[in-house]
Structure 1
Amino acid sequence: MGQLYSSIFVVVVGVLGCVAYFFGTNWLLKLVFPIRGVSNEQMARNIRRAAAIRPWLFLGPALSFLGLYLVYPVFESVALSLHDRSGENFVGLSNYIWLVQDTEFRESLFNNLLWLLVVPAASTFFGLVIAAMTDKVSWGNIAKSLVFMPMAISFIGASIIWKFIYDYRAEGVEQIGLLNAIVEFFGGSPHAWITIPFWNNFFLMIILIWIQTGFAMVILSAALRGIPEETVEAAVLDGANGIQIFFKILIPQIWGTIAVVWTTITITVLKVFDIVLAMTNGQWNSQVLANMMFDWMFRGGGDFGRGAAIAVVIMVAVIPVMVWNIRQANAQMEGR
């Protein structure tokens, strides 16, 4: 209960602080640039000055936190990657040379690429199919709510749920894992699914697909609703069937949205960490870059140099996708 009270207290203080900051900054602007008791010319000048300053007052806290918790760590990580495990002695590119030669890094890179090939494609596909199927039915909103629900669960929480689904008990013992119970029901033998090298990556991917499908569905459903009905009606009059309408009429008109959803999920996949940590901790050939970075940075005494080098690799991999994503989103908003 103490943690609950602390959380409520933090939320209340945060909200009240934001309200106080909003009214306080506006009051301060009116005090510095008064609009009463001055000439019309001075009043117009004060209004222009206040309007120019006000956005920066509201952006100021956000920019400060971004600088403190995002920009500064980037430069610090790059600097640390050029130092030894203590972060004190300069070693140049030695950590990056070690990365290229390290077997675990190559395994993590391969697994990350595997995740990139499967998760964005599967999540976007299922999200699109569900959005299209539930768009025209009366109970569609209920179905969408159920599909979207996993998005409200943390990655760790989702991993714990799926741990019970994949749970394994020795043959002859009653299975509490849903998957093994189904396998036994149909006469099969139970398996420790997440310990099977290579294939365990796919069992872990299912968790992220389960979470991200709801996100893809919501965005793509909104895009589908924005398609002019005239185009669909014209296709029907021309004799197009449902599959032709879906692939040749609907998808081309929302291709930009599909690309944005795809790349957004791709960024999430590049940073995947929680699921692997909770399910396997990188064992049985399931290691990924973020979990490897965590191991080197904070476990076994900590190696700041190597941990930071892995973090820089992840950052470099994410940046191009993120830039492309932002450009696509801006282009869509401008109607291009």
Structure 2
Amino acid sequence: MGIAIGLFVAIVGVILFVAGRIGGGRGDRWVAYLYLAPVVLMLAVGLIYPAGRTIWQSFFDAAGTSFVGIDNYHTIFTSPDQLTVLRNTVLWVVVTPFVATAVGLLYAVLVDKARLEAFAKALIFLPMSISFVGASIIWKFVYEYRPDQPGVRQIGLLNQLIVWAGGTPQQWLVESPWNTLFLIAVMIWIQAGFAMTVLSAAIKAIPDDVVEAARLDGVSPVGMFRYVTLPSIRPAVVVVLTTIGIGTLKVFDIVRTMTGGQFNTSVVANEFYSQSFRSGNEGLGAALAVLLFVLVIPIVVYNVRQLRAAEAS
């Protein structure tokens, strides 16, 4: 650590020393190049090179020695196990961003200008301060199952509530595909606070004269939300949706901690880890990593375009 910090200070010192001795109009351009050089170097070493090597490795076999072309990609889209992984990933991406954003928007509207607004927002945002692993352990206790036998007490909150209601406890994380939905609930619980914070700030940024004009026109609360609030915060909604969507595509901790990918709950990120480091299939693991990268790109591009459109308007 000390060597790394010292090297960083030395490089910055050299850049500042050289930049201070360059003057003139053309010198400003070289100063910019000097400041960009370390960033470009770190991106090349830490991002571009690993990405290129992963793409190249995805065309080799499990041992990474024999070239097999697109066989690994063919396996991803034809193997029953990998198709289940893709189905689960699609389910995560379709459900999580929209439900988390909807819940966050509902929170933002309900607590806006309430008496205990600050306390309510802090309480709702609290799950965001918990790591994914910590949240997974909490919810694993919520879903905990014990056999329904005399003298056996349920320690899982959900099953205990069912027992109190006269029902039979269930193994929530075993039955597919419902177990995937129970895992998704954890992500929604975490991300709803993020969505609420961003959307609440967007709602407060709506000009007061617009709100007052709508009220003078006799717009109902539902109409106010539909025709004033929602169109005004559309850029913020897009940012929240795409941000949660990207995070959902890369979800790993929740699945790994709660089920380990068993019982047909694995997703692309978890499968990439399992194939690369548990099963020793480097080729298939690299192909899954490339697939994950390809899936993230359209969301990032769309997000950037929406931000540019919002700035232009």
Q: 2:16 — aligned with what?
A: 26
Partner of 1:289: 268
1:305 to 283, 286, 301: 283
Residue of structure 2 in register with 1:114 after alignment: 91
Q: Which runs of 4+ in 1 moved over 6 A?
A: 12-21
> Corresponding residue for 2:101?
124
Deviation at 1:250, TM superposition (A): 0.6
> For 1:143, which of 120, 137, 146 is the aligned residue?
120
Determine the structure 2 residue equivalent to 1:166. 143
What is residue 42 of structure 1 aligned with on the other side?
none
Render the CA deviation track for 1:83-118: whole Å, top value 9, x for unaligned.
Answer: 111112211112122222200111111111111121
Query: Is the contact between residue 19 and residue 34 of structure 2 (CA under 8 Å) also seen in structure 1?
Result: no
Contact 2:104-2:199 at 8 Å conserved across structures: yes
Secondary structure of the corresponding residue to residue 194 of structure 1:
coil
Match of residue 292, structure 2, among 296, 299, 314: 314
Aligned in 2, Cα 1:16/1:84: closer, same or farther, shift over 3 Å? closer
Distance 1:52 1:144, change over 3 A: farther
* Secondary structure of 1:193 counterpart: coil
2:306 to 328, 331, 336: 328
Q: Deviations over 1:129-155 (max 9, x none)?
A: 111222212321222122222222221
| C-alpha distance in 1 between matches for 2:110 and 2:246 | 27
Provide the identity percentage.
Answer: 41
The residue correspondences of 1:53-64 to structure 2 (distance < 5 A) are 53-64=30-41
Structure 1 residues 133 and 102: CA distance shift in structure 2, 3 A: same
Structure 1 pair 284–233 and aligned structure 2 pair: CA distance change class (3 A): same
Alignment RMSD: 2.3
2:61 is the alignment partner of 1:91: no
- The counterpart of 1:181, out of the listed 155, 160, 166, is 160
Deviation for aligned residue 1:297: 0.8
Q: Report the residue type matching 1:310 in the other structure.
A: L
List alignment gaps of at least 5 residues for structure 1: 1-9, 34-45
Aligned length: 311
Contact 2:75 2:82 in 1 (8 A): no
Aligned with 1:229 (options 196, 208, 222): 208
Return the match for 1:211 from 170, 190, 194: 190
Q: Give 1:256 shift.
A: 1.9
Q: Secondary structure at the match of 1:283?
A: coil
Q: Distance in 2 between matches of 1:198 and 1:137?
A: 39
Residue 153 (1) aligns with residue 143 (2): no
What TM-score does the superposition give when structure 1 sets the normalisation length? 0.85
